[in-house]
Chains A and B, each alone.
Chain A
Amino acid sequence: MKGLLALIGRDLKLATRVGGDALTLVLFFVMVGAIVPFAIGPDRETLARLAPGIVWIAAFLSMILGLDRLFRTDVEDGSLMLFRHAALSLESISFAKLVAHWLLTALPLIIATPILAILLAMDFSTWLRTVLSLLVGTPALVAFGTIGAAVTVSLRRGGLIAPVLILPLSIPVLIFGVSAIAADTGAGTSAAALLFMAAISLVSVALSPFIAALALRLVED
């Protein structure tokens, strides 16, 4: 447990002290959201109707953009080799990386959603539901991303492969994520979608460290 926390702390420290990647990601997220009104016209009603989908797409794209550095730097500076011989199992290490990655890529985006909410003319209750659905859904995206990053970690020219692999798997999250935001029509559909997404998140977060560790192990030997 101590090792796990230390590893998460290390990743957070590395990310906040070097380069400021987390902030760049937030910038990208806001920019994607801000570009959409140029593409579909600044009509407030249309924007408000499309806003949940736009926010989800923006979050989706920014998280996929950040995927590559999940294990890449550890491979390059040799930390992954050390991890493999550490007392901590590779599964726990993958889990720690997953948690750190969520804290670095998903949480800043969720904190930045009020900016998009204003730009896209969202009302307060829609924004609240968007934040809730992002909170519940992003762990699944990070979990799938961990698998994709682990599978492609040994590829030097694999920058585009991980997103291509992860996108089809993440489609269910997107479907349920957006339908969880839609105003409840009384039939409880959005609550059901939220619960479904929570189930996907829990299962994928629980299983993906094992799959990622398997892939990491297979890559090296």
Chain B
Amino acid sequence: MQENIYTMGVDVGGSYVKAVLMAYDYEGDNHRLLDKQTEKIRKRNPREVVDETVEMVLNRNHLNYERDISYLASTGEGEMVVRKTGHFYSMTSHARGGIFFATEAKTVVDMGGLYVRAIKVDPRGKVLDYKMTGQCASGSGQFIENISRYLGLAVEEVGEISLKADNPEVPSGICAVLAETDVINLVSKGLSTPNIVKGINISIAQRVIKLLGSLRAEPPVVLVGGMGMNVGMIQAIRELAAENKKNNLEFATHPDAIYSGAIGAALWGGFRYFKLKEKNAAAVLQPA
């Protein structure tokens, strides 16, 4: 029996490094996600964080980079990934990652640290069209992190706490600075933390719904990226879609949503590896 082929995807974002290990059978017909790892960059050198994260995954699986990894694909800040076979643009990777989570998806919404992108995709994960949020950061995961720090919450708690809201108040959706001022006012007015957090999730969800409208998005929609794991955000998006009579938009999610870029990169890496293999095999068969 032939051994597995392994590819890795490494997605370097503004705050986190995400790495995944993908295994293929020898012919490349089937793939499965073997392992995954997230590391917060904090104030460390991102290149070192990337190396540590990749090593962590390799060691856990008793693999060696030079010997066992057929393709290491970077995405995001690719120059931070020194050991790599190739690089894939971020949107291309997230689109493919979205299809990995929901094979029927026609729209992938990448909700990352710095912006939100709505991407129309074909069944192979090829990008057909896209829209992304404008300049202000109030539509980004980084904004949620800032606010959660201000409220004394861990960013992972934001989703669950949001579900407890009974009377949310929505801050400015135009500008992150205005929104932060609004949040300070809401705290001093005595509004409960769940209602503040839900309001923020609604504010970002409004942007997502607007993007989907301008893209003329088709269902099903899959929500990926770090904010795709925020259950409060997902609830807000579903509620707003219903209010806006966009009930036809089914929203799929996945607990590994934060890995969509890394997964997409690993899959594109695998695609490229097997294509090149096929090409080389054909060249060998050609008469000299």
B and A form one assembly: no
